[in-house]
Chains A and B, each alone.
Chain A
Amino acid sequence: MSMGNLTPTRRRLLAGGAAAFGAAPAILSGIARAADKDFKIGIFLPLSGPAALFGPTGRACAELAADEINKAGGILGRQVRLLPTDGGTAPAEAAKSAVRLMLEEKVDMLLGSHDSAVRGAIATTVKGKVPYVYTPVYEGGECSPNIYCLGETPDQQGGPAIGWLATERKARTYYLIGNDYGWPRKTNERARRLIADQGGSVIAEEYLPLGAPNKFEEAVTRIKAARPDVVLITLVGADNVNFNRTFAGFGLDRDIARFAFLLEENTLAGIGADASRELYACMGYFADLDWPTNRQFKAAYAAKFGDKAPALSTIGVDSFTGIKFARALVEKAKGTDARACMAASEGLRFDTVTAPAIMRGRHVDKTMFLARCQGTKFEVIKTFGFVPSGTACGA
């Protein structure tokens, strides 16, 4: 509670004397509610830091979703108001912001597209008091109460991709390379099992420090010596670009397929057409998807933001889906009570920018698109409907 909210109340308390003490909390919350009819959603986006590039897209997408909801009457009859907050900071900073959003702004809900370290900090701060929708690609396994994960999990990406590579490309041997932190290691842990299920094997697994000025000649030479059928990549951002350009520079793209777990439009633009041969990605969204729902979404996005609209990719569009999901959840639960929301979430069907999805175990069975890179475009080669997340949280 901020001092700004307390001061008038304290004055009133002094005037009313000791008798008013018992009624104070009721008065206080009454004031807060009456003054604020909007449905407030605190939304954590990478406004700074290495992922800052995705911030503007996420914000634009969330605004578009909020606009559409508000035109249709809002959430439970209340107009949606977004409170964008930096999720690109250190976890402790984000936790402080979460406290401020809850106590000062009294948000009805939180939404976030940021890394898992920040999610962990927000989760332990919020402790399930308000629903928290976590939207980006992530490693799976988050089961804290009242948290709803919408992003692609390793099962949803790796399952279709590794299956396809095994049957269509007769891939047997895999080389795993990633940045050294939680998401790549957990993703690879899951990938190893998926590979074993297909009768394949992992030749080697190697990690490079996150945030260090990495170069990839030595790692690529090791891959050249190991001769795997497929390289599974869990490098992120600039390292993902650097690795793939080096890989193609050494001519390995002629014989070895690459599947990257975090490959979207911006990273592919950095990798470039001369380094993207036999490079695959499996995501819940690609900007070039030729689906009626996506055409409609892109038309609305262009109409609202014009030519200067930030570029679309799965990270960014996840915020649109997140806001739409928030409405579906709260309308079904008829409020934001934790227990009601958790119960309502099970089996909840909601619209996304592509096909409708279903929530199970506070994760999502969703449509996945396996794509092969064609120059700097993604060409969808197979679509998988209602792919389960591999994480099912209990009630």
Chain B
Amino acid sequence: MDPILVTQGLNLVFAVAVLAVLALGLAVVFGLLGVLNLAHGEFIMVGAYCAWATTAAGLPYVAAIPLAIAVCGGLGLTVERWLIRPLYRRPFDTLVATWGLSLLLRKAAEAAFGLSFRNVAMPLPGTVRVLGTDYPGYRLLLIAISAAIVGGLMLWYRRSRTGLRIRAMVGNPDLAQAVGIRATRLAAGTFAAGTCLAGLGGVMIAPLVPLQPLMGLDFVLRSFFALVIGGLGSAVGLFAGSAVIGGVDSLVSALLDATWGYFAVLVVAILFLWRRPGGLFAR
């Protein structure tokens, strides 16, 4: 097969996989708690800075994973307790509150690190020969890790006891509370899980993208579109939405150029919001 065609094909798979993992945290928090976390991109940014701090301190790259979980988890729990909890079931208020939070996190990062760019050295440099073409090894690794994270989490949600409790809480919070499920703690944990996933996404993409306080904005938009198209809050929907947004963007960018790719994404998103607001897999 034509190596350029293969490369563009892999680019498409990469776009879909990375978008799915970046949108995962947003999907968990929205699907289960009904909170649209507009600061999702900023948690990705915090995760990316964790990767930077780890490598700047001379530690191995994987050390960024526990650091990002600790920082984003801690932040997530704090934010849930003092900002989100009083606002459950007030979707518009949580929207405004998390938007404010995103400004705060961005400015905090600016105060701590300045506006200047930083870079995280590629932990897995070089290219690998696949299907007759050279493709960056780290991107191939990310495709595999993204699939594992998304698949693993879905399986856990379906099979584990905690997953069962969460489903009970989502289905009927009062009844869940009555049968002894501590819904408050479960909700806090779910929110923190969402922010941790964002942080992990940040660690994963840190070596690929420009690292600076404003970077989160780039990711929240595509993640949000993926959820809109997939249908808010279902596992299949998340994958379908990422496939449509990431796929359309990558395909049109490869066939025409990036301007048309971005245009196509916006058109698809608008069409869905207009004609099919529930998404492909409405709950």
Q: Tell me, in angstroms, the Cα distance from A213 to B216 when the chains sit together.
A: 10
27 contacts between A and B (CB under 8 A): A53-B115, A213-B222, A215-B253, A217-B11, A217-B15, A218-B254, A218-B258, A219-B257, A221-B7, A221-B254, A237-B210, A238-B218, A241-B209, A245-B208, A245-B209, A250-B127, A251-B126, A251-B136, A267-B117, A269-B118, A270-B117, A271-B117, A272-B119, A272-B121, A274-B122, A274-B125, A275-B122
Per-residue CB contact flags for chain B residues 193-229 toward chain A (1 = under 8 Å, else 0) read 0000000000000011111101101110110000000
Chain A residues near B106 (CB-CB < 8 A): none
Determine which of B116, B207, B218, B249 lies in contact with A266 in the assembled complex, contact meaning CB atoms within 8 Å. B116
Chain A residues near B259 (CB-CB < 8 A): 180, 207-209
* Chain B 249-266 interface residues, beta-carbon cutoff 8 Å to A: 249-250, 253-254, 257-259, 261-262
B219 touches A213 (CB 8 A): yes
* Chain A 323-353 interface residues, beta-carbon cutoff 8 Å to B: none
Q: Which residue of A lies closest to B122 (CB)?
A: A274
Chain A residues near B135 (CB-CB < 8 A): 250
Q: Tell me, in angstroms, the Cα distance from A207 to B260 when the chains sit together.
A: 11
Shortest 3 CB-CB contacts between residues of A and residues of B: A270-B117, A272-B119, A213-B218
Q: Which residue of A lies closest to B117 (CB)?
A: A270
A52 at the binding interface (Cβ < 8 Å): yes
Q: Tell me, in angstroms, the Cα distance from A224 to B134 when the chains sit together.
A: 10
Shortest A227–chain B CB gap in Å is 11
B258 touches A213 (CB 8 A): no
* Chain A 199-256 interface residues, beta-carbon cutoff 8 Å to B: 206-209, 212-219, 221-222, 224-225, 237-238, 241-242, 245-246, 249-251
A273 at the binding interface (Cβ < 8 Å): yes
Shortest A8–chain B CB gap in Å is 42
A311 at the binding interface (Cβ < 8 Å): yes
Shortest A69–chain B CB gap in Å is 29
B126 touches A221 (CB 8 A): no
A250 touches B134 (CB 8 A): yes
B257 touches A208 (CB 8 A): yes
Chain A residues near B14 (CB-CB < 8 A): 217
Q: Which residue of B lies closest to A268 (CB)?
A: B117
User: 20 other contacts beyond A53-B116, A215-B15, with CB at 8 A cut-off?
Assistant: A206-B258, A213-B218, A214-B262, A215-B249, A218-B250, A218-B253, A218-B261, A219-B258, A221-B7, A221-B8, A224-B7, A225-B4, A245-B210, A270-B119, A270-B210, A270-B212, A271-B117, A271-B119, A274-B125, A376-B119
B119 touches A250 (CB 8 A): no
Q: Tell me, in angstroms, the Cα distance from A212 to B217 when the chains sit together.
A: 10
Chain A residues near B254 (CB-CB < 8 A): 218, 221-222
Q: Tell me, in angstroms, the Cα distance from A238 to B117 when the chains sit together.
A: 8
Chain A residues near B253 (CB-CB < 8 A): 215, 218-219
Do A206 and B121 form a contact, CB below 8 Å, given A218-B250, A250-B127, A251-B134?
no
Q: Which residue of B lies closest to A266 (CB)?
A: B116
Q: Which residue of A lies closest to B116 (CB)?
A: A266
A251 touches B127 (CB 8 A): yes
B40 at the binding interface (Cβ < 8 Å): no
Q: Which residue of A lies closest to B222 (CB)?
A: A213
Chain B residues near A311 (CB-CB < 8 A): 116
Shortest B4–chain A CB gap in Å is 4
* Chain A 48-75 interface residues, beta-carbon cutoff 8 Å to B: 50, 52-53
B138 at the binding interface (Cβ < 8 Å): yes
Determine which of B4, B116, B119, B212 lies in contact with A245 in the assembled complex, contact meaning CB atoms within 8 Å. B119
Determine which of B121, B210, B222 lies in contact with A241 in the assembled complex, contact meaning CB atoms within 8 Å. B210
Q: Which residue of B lies closest to A237 (CB)?
A: B210
Q: Tell me, in angstroms, the Cα distance from A209 to B256 when the chains sit together.
A: 13
Q: Tell me, in angstroms, the Cα distance from A274 to B215 when the chains sit together.
A: 20
Shortest A264–chain B CB gap in Å is 11
Shortest A87–chain B CB gap in Å is 16
Chain A residues near B257 (CB-CB < 8 A): 206-208, 219
Q: Tell me, in angstroms, the Cα distance from A207 to B191 when the chains sit together.
A: 40
B7 touches A238 (CB 8 A): no
Do A266 and B15 form a contact, CB below 8 Å, given A180-B259, A238-B212?
no
Q: Which residue of A lies closest to B136 (CB)?
A: A249
Q: Tell me, in angstroms, the Cα distance from A250 to B253 when the chains sit together.
A: 17
B210 touches A238 (CB 8 A): yes
Q: Which residue of B lies closest to A180 (CB)?
A: B259
Chain B residues near A52 (CB-CB < 8 A): 115
Identify the interface centre among A218, A270, A273, A274: most chain B CB within 10 Å of its CB: A218
Determine which of A207, A209, A222, A242 lies in contact with B209 in the assembled complex, contact meaning CB atoms within 8 Å. A242
Q: Which residue of A lies closest to B127 (CB)?
A: A251
Chain A residues near B217 (CB-CB < 8 A): 213
Chain B residues near A273 (CB-CB < 8 A): 119, 121
B218 touches A269 (CB 8 A): no
Determine which of A208, A238, A269 lies in contact with B258 in the assembled complex, contact meaning CB atoms within 8 Å. A208
Q: Tell me, in angstroms, the Cα distance from A221 to B222 when the chains sit together.
A: 22
Do A212 and B262 form a contact, CB below 8 Å, given A270-B119, A271-B119, A274-B121?
yes
B117 touches A249 (CB 8 A): no
Chain A residues near B207 (CB-CB < 8 A): 245
Q: Tell me, in angstroms, the Cα distance from A354 to B249 when the chains sit together.
A: 46
Shortest B130–chain A CB gap in Å is 13
A214 touches B250 (CB 8 A): no
Q: Tell me, in angstroms, the Cα distance from A214 to B218 when the chains sit together.
A: 8
Q: Tell me, in angstroms, the Cα distance from A266 to B254 when the chains sit together.
A: 30
Shortest B102–chain A CB gap in Å is 15
Q: Tell me, in angstroms, the Cα distance from A311 to B114 when the chains sit together.
A: 11
Shortest A109–chain B CB gap in Å is 28
Shortest B18–chain A CB gap in Å is 9
Chain B residues near A241 (CB-CB < 8 A): 117, 119, 209-210
